[in-house]
Each structure stands twice: as structure tokens, then as C-alpha cells.
Chains A and B, each alone.
Chain A
């Protein structure tokens, strides 16, 4: 005979045995005690929470010789038959395979006959959401006024698929996911009764992955028993193919230390052990959430996330101090994105590896969050330095605005809260400053603190003030002004790229800055790049360049463009006020139509002057070499 799995063997046989769902158990018991039986019940809730079990218990309670009773005897023939699943009066229908109108009509026919053994006929329809519309409608009438001896119990995981007309004729009970504690309690009970050698830690791991479903939890326990004599947390993670807790904690340590190499080594370990990387992403995100919770709620969070006094709670405490809130949020987001990307990667570990490099190397990123993370890191280093006796004054003003976020040592939760409030305020101020400055101020602003966007892409070297500002010129020394622009030229490309201005960047790439006087920068294009030059000159694109360049250089810069060989550098550059660029050896498109028209041959003026041709030339540039007529 086949082995009966734990979750079937340990299906509760009395109401007292049911784990969780106190609200359902109590209501049903009371109804049985007071003999106020509804004619139809709807049990809904996630898988493995006790719907079918309670449906059968209800049937037992109704048909027991002492019934209706909340305490079925489990000894009378009726109770025994129900437990064995052979009772005549309890009809269990699989709604998914018997979903048509014919099956339901059959039920309707048979409902009329009186029960053979007990007082009631109980119809349990499992997976009732799978019935067809017609089948539901066929049920309606009999549901509304069923014979006195009939009780319907519908069980489903998807209550939204039940027509309102059916649902409103039922007493509805919503089953909840079981809590960690409830799951562990029941697992402990079963393990003891079955003589399974399992540690408490292991049971907690099982409960965590059962996600509130006892069937999943008992199934997992069953598997672990087949796997090893003594069930430890490692056995459970081995069976599930998930990473052991230590590795999840190690991942958080990698983030705290900003150690990309160690992070990549961790991925390699996971991969070689055949761990489920997708699940690892989820586990890591969930763990970081626990850390976040701890930072915000303090010791209160421990009970729900991990048990106090364990190694895990120690790690949680340590990492709550080590990990700043913005980094945690960024990490949770990055892990979620990596999970989505995993579908599209040729090698499944790649998105995780990318996320690790991103999170441990914020300097590879230019989005505001990454910049915040870098500032955050600086702030902490400043705090450390301050703690070592380096005073604010001796470090110069560059550091000054950041200090409000830093508080000396406090107990962790309080510190976490205070810190995050402080951070958001100071950073907000800085962002505002950064946006306003280029627009409002014509004069250099070197004396002030560096703006986030101005930072070079090198790893932060905190205590030193940024070198550029002091080296930058203050007057209109032309050479130095150009040098200032050139120093930021590569960064400009990067910023444009980051800001999704790739088209502008593509045009800009073809030119090079040749001079800069009084805040007017001249960009020169090779003769054969008139197309790029014209496009860059257009108001929209030029303003984009001016905006970002001004920010990078820290002063307002206007941009003009010129074609090489178009009459010397800096002479008659096209400016915003001069929409038609001056002509040169390489002719801008509008004029090209006229001048090259002669080369195309006599008698073609009608073609050359036609609006369509002119427009085409204006848009695309080029020259007309030959006109061929269609006869």
C-alpha cells in the first residue's frame, strides 16, 4: 500500500485539532452547538489553510450520532465513514472535473432524496470556481431553497470567480494564511508524534518557505525526512535548493562593505552549489526588508521577522547599523529588477552579478539615488573623521552642509530614524541648490559645496575638498575657460547619455570645443558633418547641451557651432540669433539647392525650385547632381 503523506495523515479530525482559523472554527462550532445550520457555506482562502478539512469536520459534526454537535465523537459509524471518505451522505465533488451543467443537474436531481444514515446530506464542492457559468446558474435555484436536510459547502481559492448570485446565497468564511508561530506549532506537534528528528531552527525555516500553507509545510517536512535522518536547517535549504540563511546575511554584509569582489564570489558559490538564484533574490530582498523594519520599528520587529536571541537577530542588529536606509531601498529595488531581468539573460546569474556591481559601486551610476548613496557614504566617513577629532573648521566648508544628518552614537533604532530624517532634508536642499544655481547665477560658485552632479566619476575620497573649484579661473581668461570646459567634456557625454539625450550626444560627438570666451563656447565640426552641426544648432538640442554643460562647469555657458574651414575659428559663429548659418565652402543645405542647381543641368529649374525638393534638401542636406525625368 502506498505511503500516506503527512498532510493527509494529519488532517485534523476534530475542531480542537485545527490550527489557526480561530474565527471560522468558533463560528462553526457555535452554529453546530446552537443547531443553527445555514444551507450553504462558502470557504475561501489560500491553499493549505484548512478549507476542505473544515468542510469535512462540519459534515462530521452534522451527521454524528450525537449531532449536530461541535464535538463529533469520531467513533460512531457515521464519523468513521466520513473519515474514510466512504459516507453515503457526504458527497464530495471535484468542481474542476465535474464542471458542466449536466453534473450539476444530476446533483439537483439527487438532492431531493433523504439522507440514508445521518440527519443531513452534505455536498462538498471543491474548486468550485471552475464550474461553468451555466452550471452555477443551474445551482442557483436549489441553493436558494434547498430541502431541509441538505447542506452545501463550497471551497475555493479564487472567490472572485464565484458569481455574486451564488456567493450571496452562502455564508462566507475567509480562511487566512497561517502565521509563522501557528505553522511551527503544528509542525512540532506532527514531528513529535511521528518521531521525526528535527531541530527547532529547521522547523522555522520550513515554516518560512511554507508561506502560511500547512500542506506545503507538512509536505516539506515529509521530503526532508526522506532526505536525512536528522532534519537541520541545512537539510531544509538543501531540499528546497535555496541558499542557507548565512549566505543571505553575507549578501547584506557585501552591501554594507561595498565589496564587489566578495559579492561576485558569493554568486559563484551559490551557482556551484546549484542554488535557486531567483529564490535567492527574493530571500535577500525579504531579509533586507527585515533589516529596514528593524531600523524603523526597533526590537518590536524582531518577533515577527526572526526570533530574538538567535544568531540571525544578532546579524540583523549589526546590519541595521551598517546599512543606511537609502541603500537598503535601492538594493530591494535592484533585486526586484534583477528578478525580472533573469528571464532575458543568457546566463541566469548575470542580473544578480550586475545588481551587485551596481550596489557596491555607486560611482558607476548617475541616477539621483546612486548619487545620494555616495553622499551618504561620504557623510558617514565624515562622521568617523569627526569622531577621530578632526573638526569641521579644519576640513573646510565643503563638508559643512552635510553634518546635520550626522548624530553621535545612539541606540540603533533611534539613530536610524533620526538619521533618515536628517538625510532627506539636507539632500533635498542640495538638490534644489543644484538645480537653481546654473540658471540664477552668472558668477562662479566655487566657494560653495560641490553639487552632486559635478562630482567626477572616481571613487570618493571624502575629506579632501574637490580639486576643480579651486583650480578654476575666476575671470574671463579665455584659455582657462576652455580648459574648464574640456575638463568636463567627457563627463558631459556621460551625463547626456545617462539623461537619455543620446541623440544630442550623437550630434555632439562629431564636434570638438575650440574656444570659449565670456561664457560663449564654440564647437567646431568637420566640413562633412554639416548635418550634425545643424542639428546641434537647433534650439532644443543646443539648450540641452547648454543646460548640462553649465551645471558641470558651474557657470553659465552658451553654445555656438561652426563648421571647420567656414572662415576661421570663432569668426561669425552661428548663434541663436542667427538662424540661417553663414555660407562657406561646404554649403548649408538651404543654399545647396540653389548653387548646385546649376550643375544639375539647364531647364531643370522647375524641379529644383519645387517646394518638395527644397524641403527635402533642407531636411537631409546633400546636393543635386542629376535630374532624370520620367517620360
Chain B
């Protein structure tokens, strides 16, 4: 494994490689970014680079014993701190402090991975502060997280942040094609994954297209009026989880229609603006007749629904309200 395996993260890779090449490794790094964009892979390569016996310009050789042990997670100087149950406990952090006070066994450094860092509660994070700021000896901490909000600002500010962005669509599509066999659904999968392979691979290529078809059918059905909305509410009553997924598809579909409306060139528009790239003609055709205000209203309704679901509003009530709202907007959208 080498830096080539960390794709679409040019800035992060450049920085980490530069650090390895210059030999100026800081004592704590915070890898942030959505799930499924290459943080853990990068952490492994970085650790291998720190411990490699014959590194070349920031690139671990990948052949020496040290490299192989790091990749196999067997290296005695690489420590992984993972949640015990759901959380990283303060005792685990104390263990880290003790371990950090010791010398590395074979390599020049001890490397600690703390993943996911947000699993450490407030007390555990506070316990980390001091050792993060001025760790004894040759220690490098790598904190990995996909949500920085639960981390204390004092923890964040003690680490060198390394940002992993969402993958550009073409990179994600390539990965889906090469490693997951998505074929011609790769573009759609990449777009639906919103730059995260983890998110993209929730659905198989076949399921992607089926769900989209269901979402579009739902939207069409809702244009028929409030009674249709109530019928749909009944139909989806027992399939709430599925409804949430379908709404994601619908959200992207509506977004694409909105974009089609606002694009400068109409039918000849650049398809890379769209998520549903393969449905461009259909989208353009439909979008011509639609009102942006109603599309915005429908999108608002979907976002409001998700907010309610997260706030524990009764799913059934929320879904009924959503479908009625959508129905109003769907009908209004057609009149343009």
C-alpha cells in the first residue's frame, strides 16, 4: 500500500508526504472528513512512512518488514485505540498515557491511532489534552474522525488538522467501477454517494436504479391531489425506512430538475451538473414545465421531514405531513 491508494485527496497526501520527506512529523494529527474517503488508508500509509526502514521521498517502501507489519496491523509500535463498546473510555486514555511514556520497541516512533476520535467522551478527551500537547518522547498521535463537532476545541487546536474532502465525482466513479464493479451505474452511484465511497456502496447498482424509479413514480403519483397523498401515506405506512431512502433519491431528482431550470443552455446543458446523469433528457423535458418555487418548496419539505425524524417526531405523523406537503408542491410545480 502506498500514497497511490489514497485517491482524490491531493492536498492531504501532499502535506503528509511533505511531512515524511522533511522528517518534521508533528506529535498529533487530526484526520477529518466524511466516512469512506480514505482517512484510515492514509493513516496506515502515514504510519508506514514514519516507521519504514528505507523510505523514499515520503513514500514507504512497502517491502521491508516494518512496512508489512504496519499494513498487517501487527507492528509493535503502532497502537490502535478503538471504542470499548460504543465509547473510548478514560481508562483507555490513561493506558495510552502510560504507553506513550515508554520508548518505541523497534521503530523510531510510536504511533497511536484513535479512531473514531469522537467516540471519546468529554472526560476522556480532557484526559488526552496534556499528552496531546506535549507527549513524552517520539510519539505521533493520529486522531481520525468524521465529525469534529463532538471534539473539544482544545483537542482540535492541539492537533495538526489534515482535511479529507469529499471525493470529486470522477474519482469516486472510478473507484466504484474498479473496486466495486458498478459498471455504467458508477456515475450515479458516485453522485448519490456525495463523494463518499462508504455512502455510495450502501446500494448495489441495480438497487440504485430501482429506487430512483420508485422515487419518480412517487412524485408523479403525488401530482394527482391530496387523496393521492393519503393513499401514498397508507402505502408507505409499513415501509418507513425504505421511504427515507426513496426520499434521498427524490431529493436528488428534484435538485436536478431545479438545476436544469437554471442552467444557461437548456437541453444542450452540461450533464456533469446533474446527479442523474443518465436521465438528462428526461430531466430537461420535465423541468421545462416546472416552477422553481414549488421545487424549492418540495425540497424544503424533505429537509424538514429529516429534521423532524432526527428530533424524534412520530415518524408516521411526519410522513403524513410530508406527503401532503409534497403533494401540494407537486401539483403547484406542474402549473408553470
Question: B157 touches which one: A47, A341, A353, A365 (CB < 8 A)?
Answer: A47
- Which stretch of A2-10, A178-186, A480-488, A588-596 is in the interface? A2-10
In the complex, the answer to whether B292 meets A361 with C-beta atoms within 8 Å is yes
Q: Which chain B positions have C-beta within 8 A of A228?
A: 18
In this complex, what residue of A is CB-closest to B336?
A: A457
Q: Assess whether A465 is interfacial by the CB under 8 Å rule.
A: no
In the complex, the answer to whether A348 meets B273 with C-beta atoms within 8 Å is no
Q: Main secondary structure on chain A at its contact with chain B?
A: helix
Q: Which chain A positions have C-beta within 8 A of B300?
A: 354
In the complex, the answer to whether B251 meets A347 with C-beta atoms within 8 Å is yes
Q: Assess whether B40 is interfacial by the CB under 8 Å rule.
A: no
In the complex, the answer to whether B262 meets A264 with C-beta atoms within 8 Å is yes
**When A2-B27, A219-B157, A227-B18 are in contact, do A127 and B262 touch as well, CB less than 8 Å?**
no
How many inter-chain contacts with C-beta < 8 Å in the A-B complex? Answer: 178
Q: Mark B19-34, 1 if CB is under 8 A from A, else 0.
A: 1001111110000000
**Which of chain B's residues 118-161 have a Cβ closer than 8 Å to chain A?**
123, 126-131, 134, 137-140, 153-154, 157-158, 160-161
Q: How far is the CA of A274 from the CA of B14 in the complex (A)?
A: 14
Q: How far is the CA of A506 from the CA of B264 in the complex (A)?
A: 35
Q: Assess whether A540 is interfacial by the CB under 8 Å rule.
A: no
Q: Assess whether A275 is interfacial by the CB under 8 Å rule.
A: yes
Q: Which chain B positions have C-beta within 8 A of A239?
A: 11, 15, 163
In this complex, what residue of B is CB-closest to A94?
A: B130
In the complex, the answer to whether B157 meets A127 with C-beta atoms within 8 Å is no
Q: How far is the CA of A240 from the CA of B273 in the complex (A)?
A: 25
In the complex, the answer to whether A346 meets B24 with C-beta atoms within 8 Å is no
- Which stretch of A311-319, A490-498, A547-555 is in the interface? A490-498
- Which stretch of B41-49, B66-74, B180-188, B324-332 is in the interface? B324-332
**Which of chain A's residues 456-502 have a Cβ closer than 8 Å to chain B?**
457, 490, 493-494, 497, 502
Question: A347 touches which one: B22, B168, B252 (CB < 8 A)?
Answer: B252
Q: Assess whether B105 is interfacial by the CB under 8 Å rule.
A: no
Interface size class of B (residues with CB under 8 A): 35 or more
In the complex, the answer to whether B306 meets A502 with C-beta atoms within 8 Å is no
In this complex, what residue of A is CB-closest to B251?
A: A346
Q: Which chain A positions have C-beta within 8 A of B165?
A: 241, 274-276
Q: How far is the CA of A3 from the CA of B29 in the complex (A)?
A: 13
In the complex, the answer to whether A2 meets B139 with C-beta atoms within 8 Å is yes
Q: Mark B297-336, 1 if CB is under 8 A from A, else 0.
A: 1011001001100100000000000001100100110010
Q: Which chain B positions have C-beta within 8 A of A351?
A: 303
Q: Assess whether B116 is interfacial by the CB under 8 Å rule.
A: no
Q: Assess whether B277 is interfacial by the CB under 8 Å rule.
A: no
Interface size on A, residues (CB 8 A): 67
Q: Which chain A positions have C-beta within 8 A of B129?
A: 94, 96, 126-127
**When A2-B27, A47-B157, A354-B296 are in contact, do A261 and B332 touch as well, CB less than 8 Å?**
no
**When A47-B154, A226-B22 are in contact, do A274 and B11 touch as well, CB less than 8 Å?**
yes
Q: How far is the CA of A366 from the CA of B19 in the complex (A)?
A: 54
In the complex, the answer to whether A341 meets B14 with C-beta atoms within 8 Å is no
Residue in B9, B134, B137 whose Cβ sees the most chain A Cβ within 10 Å: B134
Q: Assess whether A533 is interfacial by the CB under 8 Å rule.
A: no
Q: Assess whether A373 is interfacial by the CB under 8 Å rule.
A: no
Q: Assess whether A453 is interfacial by the CB under 8 Å rule.
A: no
Q: Assess whether A72 is interfacial by the CB under 8 Å rule.
A: no
Would you give the shortest CB distance from B8 to chain A, in whole angstroms? 7
Q: Assess whether B194 is interfacial by the CB under 8 Å rule.
A: yes
Q: Which chain B positions have C-beta within 8 A of A425?
A: none
Q: Which chain A positions have C-beta within 8 A of B55?
A: none
Q: Assess whether B94 is interfacial by the CB under 8 Å rule.
A: yes
Q: How far is the CA of A127 from the CA of B132 in the complex (A)?
A: 13
Q: Which chain B positions have C-beta within 8 A of A95?
A: 126
Q: How far is the CA of A493 from the CA of B139 in the complex (A)?
A: 66
In this complex, what residue of A is CB-closest to B327?
A: A506
In the complex, the answer to whether A502 meets B157 with C-beta atoms within 8 Å is no
Q: How far is the CA of A358 from the CA of B299 in the complex (A)?
A: 12
Q: How far is the CA of A47 from the CA of B157 in the complex (A)?
A: 7
In the complex, the answer to whether B94 meets A350 with C-beta atoms within 8 Å is no
Q: Assess whether A105 is interfacial by the CB under 8 Å rule.
A: no
Q: Assess whether B83 is interfacial by the CB under 8 Å rule.
A: no
Q: Which chain A positions have C-beta within 8 A of B291?
A: 364, 457
Q: Which chain B positions have C-beta within 8 A of A275?
A: 165
Q: Which chain B positions have C-beta within 8 A of A358?
A: 296
In this complex, what residue of B is CB-closest to A345?
A: B303
Q: How far is the CA of A46 from the CA of B8 in the complex (A)?
A: 35
Q: Which chain A positions have C-beta within 8 A of B236?
A: none
Question: A364 touches which one: B24, B139, B163, B292 (CB < 8 A)?
Answer: B292
In the complex, the answer to whether B25 meets A264 with C-beta atoms within 8 Å is no
In this complex, what residue of B is CB-closest to A274?
A: B165
Q: How far is the CA of A446 from the CA of B255 in the complex (A)?
A: 40
Would you give the shortest CB distance from A347 to chain B, in whole angstroms? 5
Would you give the shortest CB distance from A227 to chain B, in whole angstroms? 5
Q: Mark A339-367, 1 if CB is under 8 A from B, else 0.
A: 00101111110110110011001011110
Q: Which chain A positions have C-beta within 8 A of B331?
A: 509
Q: Assess whether B225 is interfacial by the CB under 8 Å rule.
A: yes
Would you give the shortest CB distance from B195 to chain A, in whole angstroms? 8
In this complex, what residue of A is CB-closest to B229?
A: A506
In the complex, the answer to whether B194 meets A502 with C-beta atoms within 8 Å is no
In the complex, the answer to whether A353 meets B332 with C-beta atoms within 8 Å is no
**When A240-B163, A274-B168, A493-B332 are in contact, do A127 and B126 touch as well, CB less than 8 Å?**
yes
Q: How far is the CA of A228 from the CA of B169 in the complex (A)?
A: 26
Q: Assess whether A69 is interfacial by the CB under 8 Å rule.
A: no
In the complex, the answer to whether A222 meets B160 with C-beta atoms within 8 Å is yes
Q: Assess whether A238 is interfacial by the CB under 8 Å rule.
A: yes
Q: Assess whether A48 is interfacial by the CB under 8 Å rule.
A: yes
Question: A5 touches which one: B27, B251, B307 (CB < 8 A)?
Answer: B27
Q: Which chain B positions have C-beta within 8 A of A361?
A: 262, 292
Q: Which chain B positions have C-beta within 8 A of A272?
A: 168-169
Q: Mark A257-301, 1 if CB is under 8 A from B, else 0.
A: 000110010001001111110000000000000000000000000
Would you give the shortest CB distance from A72 to chain B, in whole angstroms? 21
In the complex, the answer to whether B296 meets A344 with C-beta atoms within 8 Å is no
Q: Assess whether B275 is interfacial by the CB under 8 Å rule.
A: yes
Q: Assess whether A97 is interfacial by the CB under 8 Å rule.
A: yes
Q: How far is the CA of A215 from the CA of B160 in the complex (A)?
A: 10
Question: B153 touches which one: A47, A227, A363 (CB < 8 A)?
Answer: A47
In the complex, the answer to whether A260 meets B154 with C-beta atoms within 8 Å is no
Q: Which chain A positions have C-beta within 8 A of B328?
A: 497, 502, 505-506
Residue in A276, A345, A361 whose Cβ sees the most chain B Cβ within 10 Å: A345
Q: Which chain B positions have C-beta within 8 A of A85?
A: 134
Q: Assess whether B214 is interfacial by the CB under 8 Å rule.
A: no
Q: Assess whether A157 is interfacial by the CB under 8 Å rule.
A: yes
Q: How far is the CA of A471 from the CA of B108 in the complex (A)?
A: 87
Question: B126 touches which one: A96, A223, A264, A347 (CB < 8 A)?
Answer: A96
In the complex, the answer to whether B19 meets A506 with C-beta atoms within 8 Å is no
Residue in A5, A96, A239, A365 whose Cβ sees the most chain B Cβ within 10 Å: A96
In the complex, the answer to whether B226 meets A509 with C-beta atoms within 8 Å is yes
Q: Which chain B positions have C-beta within 8 A of A366?
A: 293
Q: Which chain B positions have C-beta within 8 A of A223?
A: 15, 160-161
**When A241-B165, A274-B165, A497-B332 are in contact, do A350 and B251 touch as well, CB less than 8 Å?**
yes
Q: Which chain A positions have C-beta within 8 A of B310?
A: 343-344
Extra contacts besides A2-B140, A219-B26, A350-B251 (8): CB < 8 Å: A3-B23, A95-B126, A127-B126, A345-B303, A346-B194, A351-B303, A354-B299, A502-B328
Counting from the closest, the 5 A-B pairs by CB-CB distance are: A274-B165, A96-B126, A94-B130, A3-B24, A364-B293
A to B CB contacts below 8 Å, 30 in the list:
A2-B27, A2-B139, A2-B140, A3-B26, A85-B134, A94-B127, A96-B126, A157-B153, A216-B157, A223-B160, A223-B161, A226-B15, A227-B11, A228-B18, A261-B264, A268-B273, A271-B169, A274-B165, A343-B307, A347-B252, A348-B166, A350-B255, A353-B258, A354-B299, A357-B258, A457-B293, A490-B335, A494-B332, A506-B226, A506-B324
